Structure 1
Amino acid sequence: MRHHFSAALCAAALGAASMMPGARAAELVLTLGDGTRPVADAVASLHADAREAPGATAVMDQRDSTFVPGVLPVQVGTAVSFPNSDQVQHQVYSFSTPKPFELPLYAGTPRAPILFDQPGVVVVGCNIHDWMIGYIVVLDTPHFGKSGAGGEVRVKAPPGRYTLRVWHPRLDAPVERPLELGEGRATLAMTLALGPPPPDRRSSDRLRALQDRLRSLRRED
């Protein structure tokens, strides 16, 4: 299964940072858009020293032949389970360099989760349902978050100097910039140059299946 995502080099329109003095921790409130609308499912992370999270767990479910969540950020060292909540079987796999793996055709929950021990983006698919695509973003930092429908993501971290990194499936490469956080809250706005959304493969597959069924019924008549 091959996936193509094209995008122009990302341009960041940076808003001024505002600080609230007196707080002991720092929080980055990042608002992401593409120039016309908010951007959901973007992963923002703050990087300083690489860290692992041994013993951490996470879940990527399968519901209505869709990975839920479709984008799952985790820290290096996290074990991810892939329960199948559907009435049909799935065969989950990835060819991505950080973690190639395969879960043979199954229903319910596999016995053992998959350990993600290398940073990078892991594209997950299903050998049975080609439209199923999920992304596990494995990060070497505990400071990360994912934007919601409004394009906002909040990341907490100790005050200090970081590299801010923003990833999205429709970017050619993550956006990076240096960032220094003081105590309190910092607000920042960024505009991402996203590529076009992928075609709705689920609809086309269902249409072909319906057409095949209609043709078979006509032959039977």
Structure 2
Amino acid sequence: MSRSIFALALLLISLPLAAATLEVNITNADGSAVPNAVVYAIPSHPIPTTRTVAAIDQINRTFVPHVLPVRVGTWVEFPNSDNVLHQVYSLSPAKRFQLPLYIGKPARPIQFDKPGVVAIGCNVHEQMSGFIVVLPTPYFGTAANGRLTMNTLGADDYIVHVWYEGMRKEPEPRHITLAADGTVSLAFVALK
């Protein structure tokens, strides 16, 4: 009897949960796509955090990716794939830091433990800039061409936000309800 219950429990745990889909389109007032926009959905039910590590590289004196969304608590590595010294820093309220001059990979990643937008730069190369968008949810993505499809969301109520470089005022967040195997499509217009 207990083996049967255990086997049934294993079967139920291994079944995939029905995923809902969120489709988002972000444009400027003229209809052109907003590049590198971050879309994030905050569920009504909290999701446990897990330790994750992300990376933002330095390639050809450019931060790659230019915009990196992460969840609060994520550790971020800053490898330097260039053959010149870089010194990554941020003066943003959400995370202030400065790495020493280096080539290769710094010894330790940095933890981003507060939500907010962290603008990063290089003290050696002033033209280098990037952003780490620290979010209170695991449900996010980058709409490189103004479009994003998220299909890992569970059935729940969500508040959907967008962030993009140069944003002065956030477009009105949207309250949505996603049903299992359902799809919701949203359109945001960037307010510059």
Q: Structure 2 CA distance, aligned partners of 1:185 and 1:178? A: 14
2:57 is equivalent to residue 40 of structure 1 = no
CA contact (8 A) 2:168 2:191 kept: no
Q: Decide which moves more: 33-42 or 112-121.
A: 33-42
Instruction: Provide Cα deviations, 1:53-86, integer angstroms capped at 9, x if missing partner.
Output: 3420101000111100000000111110000011
2:66 is equivalent to residue 70 of structure 1 = yes
Amino acid at match of 1:36: G
2:108 is equivalent to residue 112 of structure 1 = yes
CA contact (8 A) 2:170 2:191 kept: no
Q: Structure 1 CA distance, aligned partners of 2:125 and 2:160? A: 35
Q: Structure 1 CA distance, aligned partners of 2:23 and 2:85? A: 40
Match in the other structure for 2:174? 177
Match in the other structure for 1:15? none
Pairwise CA distance, 1:117: 1.0
Amino acid at match of 2:100: P
Q: TM-score, normalised by structure 2?
A: 0.83
Q: Decide which moves more: 169-178 or 87-96.
A: 169-178
Amino acid at match of 2:170: P
In the TM superposition, 1:113-192 aligns within 5 A as: 113-149=109-145, 151-155=146-150, 156-175=152-171, 176-183=173-180, 184-192=182-190
Pairwise CA distance, 1:50: 5.3
Which sections of structure 1, spanning at least 5 residues, go unmatched?
1-22, 195-221
Q: Structure 1 CA distance, aligned partners of 2:64 and 2:82? A: 12
CA contact (8 A) 1:52 1:76 kept: no
Pairwise CA distance, 1:39: 1.3
Point out the structure with the larger strand share: 2
Identity %: 42
In the TM superposition, 1:71-110 aligns within 5 A as: 71-110=67-106
**SS class of match (1:154):** strand
2:48 is equivalent to residue 59 of structure 1 = no
Q: Structure 2 CA distance, aligned partners of 1:50 and 1:96? A: 27
Pairwise CA distance, 1:52: 6.1
**SS class of match (1:104):** coil
Q: How many residues align?
A: 171
Q: Structure 2 CA distance, aligned partners of 1:68 and 1:52? A: 28
Q: Structure 1 CA distance, aligned partners of 2:183 and 2:50? A: 29
Q: Structure 2 CA distance, aligned partners of 1:114 and 1:133? A: 17
**SS class of match (1:100):** strand
**SS class of match (2:83):** coil
Q: TM-score, normalised by structure 1?
A: 0.73
Pairwise CA distance, 1:37: 1.1
Match in the other structure for 1:199? none
CA contact (8 A) 2:87 2:101 kept: yes
Amino acid at match of 1:188: L
Q: Structure 1 CA distance, aligned partners of 2:153 and 2:92? A: 29
Q: Decide which moves more: 170-179 or 44-53.
A: 44-53
CA contact (8 A) 1:31 1:153 kept: yes
